[in-house]
Structure 1
Amino acid sequence: MQIFSNNPPKMFSKPQPGIVDEKITPDEPGRVKFKATYWPAMLFRDYSMTLYPGQEVAVVGSQGITLLVRPL
């Protein structure tokens, strides 16, 4: 995952639930449904797994309009 210094991540005080809509891999962002809306999303930190559509995730923050997620 790439984090840009000019756009630091904003972490949520409490992880919130989301559902993967488009596959998310360590190298490629995807999309999640979060609070009834679809958002671009990428893995937070260095998880070496792939998240598949329908899988529940924890939304832990955002970077710009991209949500940062981790597996449950």
Structure 2
Amino acid sequence: MNLFTTNTKEIFPQPMPGIVEEAIATNKPGRVNFKTTYWPAILFEENSISLAPGQEITVVGRIGITLLISPL
């Protein structure tokens, strides 16, 4: 089993802060800065919002190497 390609959703026990690096919208993945590294990211819950670069977010989990995020 390859840990980097799994589609299993993992929710973190404690949400952690991050910052949007590349715009993210409901149907558009983007990129965030999390723990001093850049990661692909998507919105955790489907809602009609857009997150702009520089905006603070909360990282709530991951699917493979893609982080699941929510706005602060």
TM-score, with structure 2 as normaliser: 0.89
Give the equivalent residue in structure 2 for 1:53. 53
Shift of the alpha carbon at 1:7?
Answer: 1.4
Corresponding residue pairs, total: 67
Runs of 4 or more, structure 1, over 2 Å off, are none
Greater strand content: 2
Give the equivalent residue in structure 1 for 2:12. 12
- Which of 1 and 2 has greater Rg? 2
The percentage of counterpart residues that share the same residue type is 57
Shift of the alpha carbon at 1:45?
Answer: 1.3
TM-score, with structure 1 as normaliser: 0.89
Give the equivalent residue in structure 2 for 1:41. 41
Post-superposition Cα deviations, 1:6-62, rounded to whole Å, max 9, x if no partner, equal: 612100001000000000010110000000000000000112100000000000000
Gaps of 5+ in 1: 1-5
**Using the alignment, how far apart are the partners of 2:21 and 2:50 within structure 1?**
13
Query: What RMSD, in angstroms, separates the aligned Cα atoms of the two structures?
Result: 0.9
**Using the alignment, how far apart are the partners of 1:45 and 1:68 within structure 2?**
9
